[in-house]
Amino acid sequence: MRKITANLYMTLDGRGEFPTYPGSNIPSGTPDEPDEFFRKMWTDRFSDVTTVVMGRRSFTGHRRVHSLKGRKPTDPKFMFDYSRFLDKAEKVCLSHRLKKLDWENSRVLKGDLAKIMTKLKREKGGNIIIEGGPRLIHEVLRLNLADDYWFLVMPVVFGRGPRYWTPMKTQTNLKLLSASHMPYGELVLHYEAVREKTVSKSK
Ligand SMILES: NC(=O)c1ccc[n+]([C@@H]2O[C@H](COP(=O)([O-])OP(=O)(O)OC[C@H]3O[C@@H](n4cnc5c(N)ncnc54)[C@H](OP(=O)(O)O)[C@@H]3O)[C@@H](O)[C@H]2O)c1
């Protein structure tokens, strides 16, 4: 069965932004080799992934910045490798609005997210990554649709921008698999989904 992994990129106050902070502008790795941070969050995890699912806004943002067409000549080689991976992967854009997508190997799906993820899981292929944005990830967590979650938490209380966390009616439990921190204070947290129901303690 294909594994579904969700990626979350957020500030300490749960905002889906990429602010600058001390160290954030320092190029990651050498021109040829990504640093540990980039490897942990991206390159180490892509060899078995064939499908990337994104909300409409994230899809258009990724196409603009991370497709091979969007790369700048000065970008490091490993960013080109990342773009090659993304261009080749099957991309699912969730949208009611978009009908045509100007990015190879892409298709639009819409509707009930749980049904969409079940359908994708049954299709042939490697593993699946859900790559944001915050609104989509919130729904994935609310419905407990992913098998595991990678959080990248940046050391900033930003105070504005899209929120990952808005009210939910029920709690979602996750089991911590690994936690590490990067040289400039970013946390990389890997959790797996806990699917059994919480048993409330009797008084
Ligand atoms: N990608 C990331 O990892 C990431 C991380 C941090 C921050 N951000 C930032 O967050 C912002 C995006 O915010 P967001 O959370 O609103 O964007 P998003 O999740 O990428 O896109 C939201 C849109 O996805 C579509 N959608 C979601 N579920 C759907 C479903 N089941 N069926 C049909 N369409 C569905 C809807 O598009 P329609 O309106 O077309 O129906 C909805 O408006 C951007 O500014 C981005 O830079 C992104």
Closest CA to 56 of 120, 135, 128, 150: 135
What is the atom index within ligand 1 of the atom nearest the CA of 96? 41
For each of the domains in the chain, give its residue range(s) and CATH number, in order of start: 4-193 (3.40.430.10)
Ligand 1 in contact with 133 (CB < 6 A)? yes
Whether ligand 1 lies within 6 angstroms of the CB of 34 is answered as no
- Could you tell me the distance, in angstroms and rounded to a whole number, from the CA of residue 152 to the centre of ligand 1? 18
Query: What is the distance between the alpha carbons of residues 9 and 151, in angstroms, rounded to a whole number?
Result: 6
pLDDT tens figures, 181-198 = 998 999 999 999 998 765
Q: Which residues pair with 190 in a beta bridge?
A: 150, 178
Task: Check residue 149 and give its pLDDT.
Answer: 97
pLDDT tens string 84-121: 999 999 999 999 999 999 999 999 999 999 999 999 99
What mean pLDDT value characterizes the chain? 92
Quick one: pLDDT at residue 12? Answer: 98
What confidence score (pLDDT) does residue 32 get?
A: 79
Q: Is 70 in the pocket of ligand 1 (CB under 6 A)?
A: no
Give exposure, 157-192, as e/b (b: 16+ Cβ within 10 Å): ebeebbebeeeeeeeeebeeeeeeebeeebebbbbe
Taking the centre of ligand 1 as the mean of its atom positions, its distance from the CA of residue 11, in whole angstroms, is 17
For residue 95, the model assigns a pLDDT of 98
Express each pLDDT in 6-62 by its tens digit. Answer: 999 999 999 999 999 998 887 767 777 888 878 888 888 889 999 999 999 999 999
What pLDDT shows up at residue 201? 56
Establish whether residue 11 lines the binding site of ligand 1, counting it when its CB lies within 6 angstroms of any ligand atom. Answer: no
Those residues whose C-beta lies under 8 Å from the C-beta of residue 56, and which sit 6 or more positions away, are: 93, 94, 95, 97, 98
**Ligand 1 within 6 A of 63 CB?**
no
* Per-residue pLDDT at 203: 45
* Residue 14 beta carbon below 6 angstroms from any ligand 1 atom: no
Q: From ligand 1's centre to the CA of 203, what distance in Å? A: 43
Residue to probe by mutation, ligand 1, list 136, 142, 154, 156, most atoms within 8 Å of CB:
136
Q: Per residue in 110-131, is it b (16+ CB within 10 Å) or e — as a string?
A: eeebeebbeebbeeeeebbbbb
Output the CA torsion sign for 68, 184, 175, 158: negative
Structure confidence by residue, pLDDT tens digits, 68-87? 999 999 898 889 999 999 99
**Residue 202: pLDDT over 70:** no
How sure is the predictor about 135, in pLDDT bands with cuts at 50, 70 and 90?
Answer: very high
Q: Is the pLDDT of residue 199 over 60?
A: no
